[in-house]
Amino acid sequence: MMTPTFSLHRGNTPLLISMPHCGEALPEALQPRLTPLALTLGDTDWHLPRLYDFAGDLGASMLQPHYSRYLIDLNRPADNTPLYPGAAGTDLCPLTTFDGEPLYREGEQPTDAEVAQRLRDVWQPYHAALGEELARLREQFGFAVLFEAHSIRSVVPRLFDGELPVFSLGTAGGSSCAASLRQAASNALAEDGRSLVVDARFKGGYITRAYGDPANNIHSMQLELAQRSYMQESEPYHYLPDVAAGVKPSLQNLIQSLLDWAGSQPS
């Protein structure tokens, strides 16, 4: 399914992979209002469709937006409630980069009416598709597994101290999925041997928290991947195939572990 704001590939397993921050498009009319720094789209979850290009062949459904998170962040609640109260974060319609630099030229910030329009035209269609696909998978298989694929620069002082681990797995403190699925994913990533944390700084964004409902057979988790493991972290943000070749087998192992877990569940 291809729409003006997202694309959805329907698979044949209980797994849906969502990539809410991989979009790179900006409306042409908006671009003159943005700063030159904003137009570099520096906080994008770069190259994730390429990094996870194996997942469709394994039978996963794939949901990807077209528009940048600088237009509207699909992984934030519609009412812009902070995900991490008391800690620095980003907004539904962000005004600054992760480093706190302005995205808009002076006086060009979005109005309340513009935010409402972005919610209606971009945010709501993505979430409608996400919810409908999870419902389809649960109807077909008896349960659904949602995997949120993310990536981020290794060092962002405004958001966290020091260098981020290569793998940050989030399950909303264990509440968004079955404990056995959380353990299977953690075990799969641990085989890589590089730094791994579970439910630490990134415990899962809005989508993981809002859609994970193990009691009703929908299990969700998020992986925040440090970008040093597969790409150039500074502009021009190139994908580095030789570097990515080191982490890609671990991602395949992770996705396969989710499918293996799903295959072990009673129908």
In this prediction, residue 3 carries a pLDDT of 82
In this prediction, residue 163 carries a pLDDT of 96
Query: What residues contact 78, with CB distance under 8 A and at least 6 apart?
Result: 92, 119, 123
How far is it, in rounded angstroms, from Cα 81 to Cα 207? 13
The rounded average pLDDT for each run of 10 residues, N- to C-terminus, in the chain (267 residues) is 92 98 97 98 98 97 98 96 75 96 97 97 98 98 97 94 96 98 98 97 94 97 98 97 98 98 85
- Domains in the chain (CATH in brackets) are 6-263 (3.40.630.40)
In this prediction, residue 266 carries a pLDDT of 77
- State which amino acid sits at residue 36: P
In this prediction, residue 5 carries a pLDDT of 97
Q: Residues 82, 159: contact at Cβ < 8 Å?
A: no
Among candidate residues 67, 205, 55, the one with its CA nearest the CA of residue 126: 67
230 class by beta-carbon count within 10 Å (0-12 exposed, 13-18 middle, 19+ buried): buried
In this prediction, residue 267 carries a pLDDT of 65
- The count of other CB atoms within 10 Å of the CB of residue 100 is 11
Could you tell me how far CA 230 lies from the centroid of its own chain?
Answer: 16
Packing angle of the helix pair 179-190, 241-263 (nearest 10 deg): 150
